[in-house]
């Protein structure tokens, strides 16, 4: 049995859960509490980042590497397209979503969910994020190229890579343009059983979430976005009160 070390709000973990469900790989979930990470999770993820995957004696961390492992280990329902050109486009789309798009959505959550900014600063950050989501969604529209799926004829690697971010932005109020191919794609993705499972897990997680400010782990692209977009004080204040952290490293 495969074990997924999971934080439902993490778009990286959502991506892996979608892949497991779309490939019909049986798995169990090991919830991760970053406040008190247990030894089993830390053994699987030395950087203390979710997701991680335990498959037999093998522990795999980093969502892209996990996807690659799933493709190699269970090739019967492939998520990568066949041609080298399509594979390259898929990997570039995943990288844009995992870095550029993630940083934008992260910043919105810092303001609207974790209440790290108010007043003019909050308005500035939210407007900056809105404009940037529109730009990334416009680029995704060109990648979709009026097709039903980024993967071509069906939901594939590119689709499960884009979904957590486009869906997350839409939930924050930054929706794809009305009548666009991206809007139709998002609706189709939301109708898939895999996406509905992800949504249910998010709702259950949010229902149990601690209220108020909590600490958050900044990855490089998230820190860069804040520093470039005027959120420097958020980072400095968070470092001062211990609510902003960077990835732990437990390699020994």
Sign of CA dihedral 66, 220, 246, 234: negative
Residue 252 has, within 13 A of its CA and on its CB side, a CA count of 5
Q: Which two tokens stand for residue 146?
A: 């009026």
Task: Report domain 84-208's class.
Answer: mainly alpha
Question: Contact at 8 Å (CB) between 161 and 97?
Answer: yes
Query: In the chain, which residues fall in CATH 3.40.30.10?
Result: 2-73
d(CA 158, CA 214): 32
pLDDT tens across 195-245, in order? 999 999 999 988 886 555 567 888 899 999 999 999 999 999 989 988 888
pLDDT tens across 70-127, in order? 999 999 999 999 999 999 999 999 999 999 999 999 999 999 988 899 999 999 999 9
Which of the four CATH numbers 3.40.30.10, 3.10.180.10, 3.40.190.10, 3.40.50.1820 does domain 2-73 have? 3.40.30.10
pLDDT tens across 146-175, in order? 899 998 889 999 999 999 999 999 999 999
| 79-88 CB contacts, 8 Å cutoff, 24+ apart | 79/19, 79/22, 79/23, 79/151, 79/156, 79/157, 79/160, 80/156, 80/157, 81/151, 81/152, 81/156, 81/157, 86/152
Query: In the chain, which residues fall in CATH 1.20.1050.10?
Result: 84-208
Q: Which two tokens stand for residue 113?
A: 């969910």
- Note the pTM of the prediction, 2 decimals: 0.94
Q: Which residues contact 14 (CB under 8 A, 6 or more apart)?
A: 8, 163, 164, 198, 202
pLDDT of residue 210: 58
């Amino acid at each position: 049995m495969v074990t997924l070390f999971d934080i439902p709000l993490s778009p990286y973990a959502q991506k892996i859960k979608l892949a497991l469900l779309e490939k019909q790989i049986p798995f169990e979930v090991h919830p991760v509490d970053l406040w008190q990470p247990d030894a089993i999770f830390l053994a699987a993820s030395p950087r203390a980042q979710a997701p991680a995957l335990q498959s037999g004696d093998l522990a795999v961390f980093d969502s892209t590497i996990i996807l690659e492992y799933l493709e190699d280990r269970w090739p019967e329902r492939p998520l990568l397209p066949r041609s080298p050109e399509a594979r390259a486009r898929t990997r570039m789309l995943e990288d844009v979503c995992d870095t550029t798009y993630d940083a934008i959505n992260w910043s919105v959550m810092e303001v609207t969910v974790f209440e790290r900014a108010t007043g003019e600063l909050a308005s500035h950050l939210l407007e900056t994020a809105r404009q940037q989501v529109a730009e990334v969604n416009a680029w995704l529209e060109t990648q979709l190229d009026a097709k039903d799926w980024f993967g071509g004829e069906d939901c594939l690697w590119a689709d499960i890579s884009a979904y957590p971010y486009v869906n997350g932005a839409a939930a924050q109020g930054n929706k794809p343009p009305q009548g666009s191919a991206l809007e139709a794609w998002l609706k189709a993705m939301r109708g898939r059983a895999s996406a509905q499972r992800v949504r249910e897990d998010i709702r259950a997680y949010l229902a149990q979430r601690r209220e108020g400010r909590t600490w958050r782990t900044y990855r490089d692209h998230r820190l860069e976005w804040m520093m470039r977009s005027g959120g420097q004080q958020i980072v400095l204040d968070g470092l001062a009160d211990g609510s902003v952290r960077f990835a732990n490293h437990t390699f020994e």
